[in-house]
Amino acid sequence: MAIPPFHLAVPVDDLEAARAFYGGLMGCPEGRSSDTWIDFNFFGHQFVVHQGTPLGQADTNDVDGKQVPSFHFGAVLDWEDWHALATKLAAAEIEFVIEPGIRFEGEVGEQATMFFLDPAGNAIELKAFKDPSQLFAK
């Protein structure tokens, strides 16, 4: 099933910090940019950071015993790519909101997941499924 790329724009308070984080650390290729925004290829999706006031994190919800930021975005990666990026982020001493691990272990929708914040405080979730058919399983 081919999934069309999404477009998402979020505010950040420091474009250069966002460029270093998304482009440098996460390895997302940079596209077009101006003095007030930057496009990134976020795992095949168009992700834009705009100079502005970050949204911050106020609320969480309990998901499988973890407090998940209610506002977050992310991507579903291949299993091997997820593990490689988790290792890279840990080596860079990223502070995880939720450490890399397996959620819903042994249940429908079992997945690897991790949560962390970008420099502006936007929460990011990256996940992966050993069995990609579980992505929309009930």
Flag whether 43 is in a domain.
Answer: yes
**One domain for residues 64 and 28:** no
Parallel, antiparallel, or unpaired for β 45-51 and 7-12? parallel
Angstrom distance (rounded) from CA 85 to CA 78: 11
pTM of this prediction?
0.89
Q: Give the angle subtended at the CA of 75 by the CAs of 133 and 65, to the nearest 5°.
A: 80
Residue 41's CATH number = 3.30.720.120
User: What is the distance between the alpha carbons of residues 57 and 123, in angstroms, rounded to a whole number?
Assistant: 8
In a domain, 94, yes or no: yes
Task: Say whether both 41 and 66 belong to one domain.
Answer: no
Number of domains in the chain: 2
Question: Is residue 68 domain-resident?
Answer: yes
| Alpha carbon distance 90, 72 (integer Å) | 20
**Which has more confidence, 82 or 2?**
82
- CATH code, 126: 3.10.180.10
**Burial status of residue 93 (CB atoms within 10 A of its CB: 0-12, 13-18, 19 or more):** exposed
Structural domain containing residue 21: 7-51
2 belongs to a structural domain: no
Average predicted confidence (pLDDT) for the chain: 93
Residue 1, in any domain of the structure: no
CA distances from residue 68 to 38, 64, 71, 75, 99 in whole angstroms, order as listed? 27, 9, 9, 15, 11
Instruction: Report yes or no on 66 lying in a domain.
Output: yes
Q: Are residues 43 and 106 in the same domain?
A: no
Residue bearing tokens 């095949």: 44
Q: How many residues does the chain have?
A: 138
Q: pLDDT tens digits, residue range 50-105?
A: 999 988 777 888 887 888 888 899 999 999 999 999 999 999 999 999 999 999 99
pLDDT of residue 1: 59
Assigned domain for 91 exists: yes
